[in-house]
Amino acid sequence: MDLAGVIAIEVVYSVASLILISAGLAVIFGMMRVINLAHGEFMMIGGYATIVSANAGVNVWVAMLVVAPLTVGLVGLVVERLVIRVLYGRLVDTMLATWGLSLVLVGLATMIFGNTTAGISPPISGFALGGYQVNGYNLFVVVVTVVLLASMWAVLRLTRLGLLARGTMQRADMAAALGYDPDRVYMATFFAGSALTGLAGGVLAPLVGLVPTTGAGYVAEAFITVITGGASLIVGIVSSATILGVVSQAFTFATRPVVGEVALLVTALVLLRLLPQGITGRFFRRAT
Amino acid sequence: MRARRAGCGASIVPSVLETRGLTMTFGGVAAVDGVDFTLGRRELRCLIGPNGAGKSTFFKCLTGQLKPTAGEIRIGEEETTGWDPHAVARLGVGVKTQVPSVMDGLSVRENVWLSAYRGRGRAAARSATDAAIERLALGEIARALVGRLSHGERQRVELAIVVAAAPTLILLDEPAAGLTSEEVGRLAEIIVALNREAAIVIVEHDMQFIRTIASVITVFSQGRILVEGPVEDVMRDPRVRDVYLGRKG
Amino acid sequence: MSARPQLRGTFVALAAGAAILALAPLVAETYTLSVLVIYAILALSLGLIWGFGGILCFGQAAFYGLGAYTYAIAAINIGESTLPVLLGIAVPFAFAFVLGAVMFYGRLSDVYLGVVTLVVTLIFFRFMNATAGPAFAIGEARLGGFNGIPGFPILNVPGQPRWEIYDGAFYAVCAVALLLVYGLVRWLLASPFGRVAVAIRENEGRAELMGYDARLRKTVLFAVGGGIAGLAGVLYASWAEIVTPGLFSLAQSAEIIVWCIVGGLGTLAGPIIGAVVLGYAKFLLGQQSVIDNTLILGAILVLSVLLMPRGIAGVLGAAWGRAPRRARRPRRRAGAPRRLRSLDRA
């Protein structure tokens, strides 16, 4: 029974972390049809922002929930102005440029922080469930994810801004038709997506030993979750994260973690082959 | 079907193209709704109808670009329902799309050659290419990149692509769109000439143009065939006028 | 249209290439030159499928790594290098064929193509990293996980396992391989198959309406690219005398893409120039530690996408006034260039 509880927590955590790492990418892809391949490096920056500021004496919660999103949001703004804006509408070129950007950021991080592992200890200690030790911080990650999803839903469904965003997702020229400057909408979107990414990087920082190349591990999973999810923002990433998370955890428990990772990737391939428009491309038509 | 001969003295005129109950629905809306259509050998038929009548959807089902929801399509002796466009094309079907679909980065000659080469050898392809370029009067611009040509010239290039394949069934979607009146006149001559070798279906809006080439027309309305018959009769039909003037509910 | 000038152009290019390859050892060591030539072959593989087929593969490294690993594993088990070399080409070819069939018959669009190829590369990378321990072995060859496979027999004269090919002789083999691959690709592109491939890149829908099966043709082209990348992997394995999972890394894939972009897509000379110039730059940069290598590679990629979308070959072509300026700018497909005539200049 205890084992079942532990496994359930692990599965929920793995789904939640997939959602968390994909949210920023999904916002940017959904709104702008831009795939940011520097997404993983944005998370890496969020992680370093958290660790550096926490080590400098900032409260650890402030560091991960405020400093990290703001830092990465600002980085995102700069990137949008200098690179993305120039290439808007050229999907493949954007992917290539952001891939280049990701290499630049890895290189910069290596020069600044070196190739050593940085980390902070989780601010929540574990607890025992029967004979098993449960990582309390994992539960915090789940809570953050749920709050994040709820607020994304609320913004999209209940506010004027959300209405505008949903309109833009359906039709790219909607913002202009409604009298908004698309340039500003895209800038705001990229900022928001980057900030979400920074938040994910910050929140996950205590769980990983951070190295400059950490991002590469994230981008593939986030990328896959978003593309597999398809057109609908929230329903898409929740459904694909659930499928992928459950499958990878099942294989992880049955064999070993690397098989879980490979299973996740293979599942994504199969899903894409069966549903080329993503999971929500066929079954859901609403843009939330 | 290319080699098939019309049975001499046969009582039934063999059809080149036939659809039975062809239906195409998009999210519950039937754009084409149970269409029965028959085209005889060497026949030239125009499809007309107001915007949204389902002509283009019907057309795309014939070419294989859309897979119909229900019903069947027969081209020559093959049942082609659900076939891919390349398989349909190999039956000897030449297609001209609504917006000229050509290879912008290639020269006129390369465009035409690609069509002529399919299913032939190199030598035969060369002469078919020359003939098609000659026929569409593209000789002067044969080496130009198609992407740099005017709309009318691109329309002609696409027709040359169709001609070069020596099709037995030709499907043309709005060939006169965007052409000058002089170009339309030349187009009519070309189509009439092509009709000596192939059956032709034309989706068209330009009534003046239709009168000059077609004897029989089919009127689409709301995904169905409304009327079919000789041009003059159809034009006098009050239902057709209602449809065009939007009086019909 | 006629094949003659094409043929003459090919011979001129091959002769010039052979001369450059023969003279290069005067200015640099053959050890370094060998790997540059290998990079050039690898760049050609992507230059072919991306520049002429419009297929952007984010995982060309998968076929490269697969070729290298296949060679290493087969060489350990067989000893003599002839069959391993052939396997090192055949296995990536077959794998690319199957993968291509899955993607193209599934009608995956550009972005999804990118995702799938990227994911496949990652699967290889992660799997190979996790193959430490005796459980993971193919015949005599242990996969070795993160450390890779060292100590397999290098290339030898066919039938003579003791006559190993290295240094100057190995460079000669690489140079001949590059010329052969270049000639093969030129021939392929001049053939009807190549022209249809370019037609599909230009307008897939029209090619299908003409009666060409775009899915099959893209699959074949993709497989040929995979086979060429596999050959590069084989040569690399024999050069480095070790294969590691790093061959499958995303950075490796990125590098190949950068070579093509910087050199110029839609030409054959472009990717070769890109690979050699950047490969040599990387070699020089590797000798300093002030600026991180990855940073420079990334910066080059960003800047060339932003400032030089047609690459060195495009810039040079324009400078010589031989590149006709386009009056219209049709939408780009898959970042593929739209000029076919560049084929004559490649």
Which of the residue ranges A15-19, A40-44, A68-72, C291-295 would you say has the lowest mean pLDDT? C291-295
Would you state the pLDDT for residue A251?
84
- Residue A85 contacts C, CB cutoff 8 Å: no
Cβ of C206 and B103 within 8 Å?
Answer: yes
Q: Nearest to residue C249, comparing CAs of C69, C124, C95, C113?
A: C124
Average pLDDT of B38-60?
87
Q: What is the pLDDT of residue B98?
A: 84
Residue A97 is nearest to which of C56, C118, C305, comparing CB atoms?
Answer: C305
* Closest by CA position to C266, among listed C340, C317, C209, C200: C340
> What ranges do the domains of chain C cover?
3-247
For the beta carbon of residue A260, count every other beta carbon within 10 angstroms: 20
pLDDT at A173 over 90: no
Residue type at B130 in one-letter notation: D
Q: What is the pTM of this model?
A: 0.83
Tens digits of residue pLDDT in B101-149: 899 889 999 999 999 998 888 888 899 999 999 888 888 888 889 888 8
Q: Alpha-carbon distance A281 to A239, whole Å?
A: 12
What number is the average pLDDT over the span A238-261? 83
Label residue A73 by pLDDT band (50, 70, 90).
Answer: very high
Work out whether strand B169-173 and strand B44-48 pair parallel, antiparallel, or are unpaired: unpaired
- Lowest-pLDDT choice from B6-15, B74-83, B167-176, B217-226: B6-15
Q: Which residues of C touch B155 (CB under 8 A)?
A: none
List the pLDDT tens digit at each of the 346 positions of chain C.
445 567 777 888 888 888 888 888 888 888 889 999 999 999 999 999 999 998 888 889 999 999 999 999 999 998 888 899 999 999 999 999 999 998 888 777 767 788 788 888 888 888 888 888 787 888 888 888 888 898 888 888 887 778 888 788 899 999 999 999 999 999 999 899 999 999 999 999 999 999 999 999 999 999 999 999 999 999 999 999 899 998 998 778 888 988 898 888 888 889 999 999 888 888 887 777 677 778 888 888 888 888 877 777 777 777 665 444 443 334 444 444 433 333 333 3
Across A115-124, A204-213, A255-264, which has the greatest mean pLDDT?
Answer: A204-213
Any chain C CB within 8 A of the CB of B67? Answer: no
Whether A106 and chain C come into contact, CB under 8 Å, resolves to yes
- Tokens 């011979």 map to which residue? C11
Phi-psi label, residue B116: left if phi above 0, alpha if psi -120 to 50, beta otherwise:
alpha
Residue A181: CB atoms within 10 Å = 10
Confidence of residue A279 (pLDDT cuts 50, 70, 90): low
> What's the distance, CA C40 to chain centroid?
7
Q: Tokens 């991002």 correspond to what residue?
A: A215
Determine what percent of chain A is predicted with pLDDT higher than 70.
92
Three-state DSSP at C119 gives: helix
Query: pLDDT higher for C217 or A5?
Result: C217
Where do the domains of chain B lie, and which CATH numbers do they carry? 16-24+31-92+167-245 (3.40.50.300)
- Mean pLDDT within A198-226: 86
pLDDT band at A79 (very low <50, low <70, confident <90, very high): very high
Q: Name every chain A residue with its beta carbon within 8 A of the beta carbon of C297.
A: 100, 103, 107
Residue C341 tokens read as 């005539």
Name the residue with higher pLDDT: A50 or B246: A50
Nearest beta carbon to residue C298 from set A107, A265, A269? A107
Angle at C187 between CA B105 and CA C329, to 5 degrees: 10
Asked if C298 lies within 8 A of A266 by C-beta distance, the reply is no
Domain boundaries, chain A: 2-229
- Residue B3's pLDDT is 43
Sheet holding B29-40, edge to edge: B29-40, B15-26, B70-75, B78-79
With tokens 């992928």, the residue in question is A244
If one counts every other C-beta atom within 10 angstroms of the C-beta of residue B219, the result is: 24
Three-class secondary structure of residue B48 per DSSP: strand
Q: What is the dihedral of CA A111, A116, A120, A125, to 10 degrees?
A: 160
Task: Give the pLDDT score at A211.
Answer: 87
Q: CB pairs below 8 Å between B and C: how many?
A: 91
CA–CA separation, C87 and C177 (whole Å): 16
* Nearest-by-CA chain A residue for C294: A107
For A50-74, b/e burial (b = at least 16 CB within 10 A) is bbbbbeeebebeebbbbbbbbbbbe
